[in-house]
A and B are shown apart, each in its own frame.
Chain A
Amino acid sequence: MASLDDLKKRIASVKSTQKITKAMKMVAAAKLRRAQESAEKGRPYSEKMNNVILNLSNGISDKENAPKLLSGSGKDKIHLCVVMTSDRGLCGGFNSNIIKKAKSYFSKLSEEGKDLKIVTVGSKGNDQLKRVYGDKIIANISFKESKNANYFDAEKVGKMVIEKFEAEEFDFCTIFYNQFKNVITQIPQAQQIIPLNTENSEENKSEDSYEFEPDEDEILRNLLPKNISTQIFKAMLENSASEQGSRMSAMDNATRNAGEMVDKLTIEYNRSRQAAITKELIEIISGAESL
């Protein structure tokens, strides 16, 4: 059994850990509000962009000559996976959930005999993936310097992806990120961005015809690269909101656990203190009796 002094020290150390987790929870809560706000503000842009592209791709007359970003390269050999994680830890299952989703997709690909290339965004994902898939990772990008997700960073990733696609380094591109549902639920998502998935376009197919200036092809050619950046930016925004939400609930749990631990340790401390007193009393009494 631990001595009284040891117990005292442990109680003090758990209490100071609890203070840290509590502070981190507060910080995460404040950041979450901001991240959530910007995720919501960013939604109209990506939604509008999506609508315009769906309208365009429905109206496109010449499917054969459609831009490759829309129709694909015609092959199905090399898959590029962009795995988006955070740069910081202590956020519960946030990163491992994405990695888990990505890994199951990777093994599915290798079963089908397809080649895999990985781009990691955020250092945590890189750390977890490089042990098993180290030779597949072709780039690692991290935005440690930028405080919030911004479009400029997303554009950098987007441009890199497009350059690699144009150099025919891959045929399919999928991004992995956590979609923010609420503070306790984040859903890991796999979204294919190249070629663009237009399958669900049936439901919001609009009947009105547009005038295009210049023609559809020209607009699509200009729009599709932008859409890639936009989708990546959307993923970044969702990710940062999810990260903060996940950290907040993880830290909330940690604070609660620390509280329980302090209670338990305090009881143990009091009990052993009482035991020591009783022992001393017995010694005194039996000493007096023997006289």
Chain B
Amino acid sequence: MSEEFKVEIVNPEKSFLVKEDVLEVVVPAFEGEMGILKDHISIISFLKPGIIKILSKSGDENFYVEDGIVEFKNNNLSILTSSIFNLTDLDKSKQQDLLKQAEEEASKPEINDQFKYLVDQKIEVLRSLN
């Protein structure tokens, strides 16, 4: 039996990526990284800033996301996100821009704890990319 399932990443503008031959997806879920294999139980969770790793027969791909929701059902994984970048397209200057933006947000005094946690995550991930 094949071990593949389908993954679909959509952002508000378009369907970002559809892949049918995926073996494993690692998503940065809110309560920690989560690996999803075929026949995983139906699950809904949301993402924190991090790296989505997609391991498939036709090669591996990595994406940087800032937020989103994952839904897994009947071997269909849908990832809804408003900000996603393919790591190969994300060059140094873009990274720096995002990092700067995040640092600015973090330095604002009025942010609440949860938001601060998310921004800190973002900074950490962006720094680790360099």
Interface residues of A (CB under 8 A from B): 38, 41-42, 44-46, 48-49, 52, 55-56, 150-151, 154-155, 208-214, 218-219, 222-223, 226, 230, 233
Other than the given A55-B44, A219-B45, 14 more pairs (CB < 8 A) read A38-B14, A44-B8, A44-B10, A52-B71, A56-B44, A154-B12, A210-B42, A210-B44, A213-B29, A213-B34, A214-B45, A218-B30, A226-B67, A233-B12
Task: Evaluate contact between A41 and B13: CB separation under 8 angstroms.
Answer: yes
Can you report 10 A-B residue pairs in the complex whose CB atoms are below 8 A from each other? A44-B8, A46-B12, A48-B71, A48-B80, A151-B12, A210-B73, A211-B42, A211-B44, A213-B29, A213-B34
Q: Which B residues touch A52, using CB under 8 A?
A: 44, 69, 71, 80
Q: How far is the CB of A286 from chain B (nearest CB, A)?
A: 79
Known contacts: A42-B14, A44-B10, A151-B12. The answer to whether A222 contacts B80 by CB under 8 A is no
Contacts of A155 in B (CB 8 A): 82
Contact call A45/B69, Cβ cutoff below 8 A: no
Is B78 touching A211 in the complex (CB atoms < 8 A)?
no
Q: Are A151 and B15 in contact (CB under 8 A)?
A: no
Closest chain B residue to A150 by CB distance?
B13
Question: B14 touching A208 by the CB < 8 A rule?
Answer: no
Q: B45's closest neighbor in chain A, by CB?
A: A213
B43 and A212: CB pair below 8 A? yes
Which residues of chain B have C-beta atoms less than 8 A from A46's C-beta?
12
A290 to B: closest C-beta gap in Å: 85
Q: Are A151 and B13 in contact (CB under 8 A)?
A: yes
Which residues of B are found within 8 Å of A48, using beta-carbon distances?
10, 71, 78, 80
Instruction: Indicate if the CB atoms of A222 and B42 lie closer than 8 Å.
Output: no
Interface residues in B36-79 by Cβ distance below 8 A to A read 41-46, 67, 69, 71, 73-74, 78
Q: Whole-angstrom distance from the CB of B107 to the nearest CB of chain A?
A: 20
Asked if B43 and A38 make an inter-chain contact with CB atoms under 8 angstroms apart, the answer reads no
Q: Work out how many contacts link A and B, with CB atoms closer than 8 A.
A: 73
Interface residue SS majority, chain A: helix
B71 and A222 within 8 A (CB) = no
Q: How far is the CA of A281 from the CA of B118 in the complex (A)?
A: 93
For A223, the chain B residues whose CB sits under 8 A away are: 46, 69
A-B pairs, top 3 by smallest CB distance, nearest first, are A41-B14, A151-B12, A213-B45
Bound state CA distance, A231 and B49, in angstroms? 23
What is the CA–CA distance of A44 and B11 in the complex, to the nearest angstrom? 9
Contact yes or no, A151 B82, CB < 8 A: yes
Asked if B91 lies at the interface with its beta carbon under 8 angstroms from chain A, I say no
A126 to B127, CA, bound (A): 45
A38 touches B13 (CB 8 A): yes
Assess A45 versus B10: contact at CB under 8 Å? Given A214-B31, A223-B69.
yes
| Contact present for B13 and A42 (CB under 8 Å) | yes
Chain A CB count within 10 A is highest, among B42, B44, B78, for B44
Q: Which residue of B lies closest to A216 (CB)?
A: B44
Chain B, residue nearest A148 (CB) = B13
Interfacial chain A residues near B42, Cβ < 8 Å: 208-211
Query: Looking across the interface, which residue of chain B has its beta carbon closest to that of A222?
Result: B46
A214 proximity list for chain B (CB < 8 A): 30-31, 45
A182 → chain B, closest Cβ, in Å?
A: 21
Most B CB atoms within 10 A — which of A41, A45, A151, A226? Answer: A45
* Residue pair A45, B12 in contact (C-beta under 8 Å): yes
Contacts of B31 in A (CB 8 A): 213-214
Residues A219 and B78 in contact, CB atoms below 8 Å apart: no
B2-37 to A contact mask, C-beta < 8 Å, 1/0:
000000101111110000000000000111001000
Distance to closest chain B CB from A59 (angstroms): 9
> How far, in Å, is B106 (CB) from chain A's closest CB?
19
Q: Within residues 72 to 119 of chain B, which ones have a CB less than 8 A from any CB in chain A?
A: 73-74, 78, 80, 82
Kindly provide the distance from the CB of B20 to the nearest chain A CB, expressed in whole angstroms. 16
Query: B34 contacts which chain A residues (CB < 8 A)?
Result: 213
In the complex the two chains form, what is the Cα distance from A84 to B71 in whole Å?
A: 31
Given the contacts A38-B14, A151-B13, A219 and B46 also touching, CB distance less than 8 Å: yes
